[in-house]
Amino acid sequence: MRSIEPVAVVTGGAGAIGAAVCRALAAVGFAVVIGYRETPERAEAMIPTLAGTGHAAMRAPVTDSGALQSLAIAVRERYARCDVLVNCAGTTRFVAHHDLDGLDDALIDAILATNVRGSFAAVRALAPLLRASTQAGGAVVVNISSLAARTAIGSNVMYCASKAALDSLTLSLARALAPAVRVVSVSPGLVDTEFVKSLDTRWRDEQEARTPLGRLAAPAEIAAAVVAVVRDLTFTTGCVLAVDGGRPLN
């Protein structure tokens, strides 16, 4: 069938930031495909909480290119269109930057396969549908990056490098896919998710104090930036949009 509503696919859609992005896009009229890795329960439970209709949960493990091709086929068969792709799937683990041995090859490979190759593979799989979009302003890919790409301060050395690579990928793909598809990185600072709230309180308070606006980002603020890129910033591509409270100023 042909979807009347524009369609957005969100990888990592059941995570804290991904779920906020799904809610925000549904609220402005998108049918949302909530991409999950292995277990569908959280993604499926989100569907009735989203505004509007036409939403679906679909398996989207970004490290499996074959599965992403199957996702693209499923999206085409159900909706016959894809107007927005949000690459929100990501992975990391805290390893002190000086602990070179603690950053083992398996973790390095997992981070790069998910955060960099996975984002590219999702774009590659959905590119034919994105190029065919009739959405005003063209189709949009939003890569959820991180301030760590700029500061090289983050959960581990390779996570920072992966987000820097993702921002470079954003620029390259914006050039390669223009003019039919715009590509933008949304780059949060530290986001106040349940995971962050579970960490050492003193460390979290220190990060907050170092942020000029005096607090951490909320997931909904990252989602609002995604909506702005999709709906309002229609002459914007190949750039990194910071949502970090001015953290690099300190």
Preceding omega of 40 cis (within 30 degrees of 0): no
CA 177 → CA 73, 168, 230, distances in Å?
20, 14, 16
Reference 4, options 88, 115, 90, 79; nearest CA is 79
Residue 79 annotated in active site: no
Spot the catalytic one: 159, 169, 190, 219: 159
Alpha carbon distance 164, 161 (integer Å): 5
Give me the active site residues, please.
159
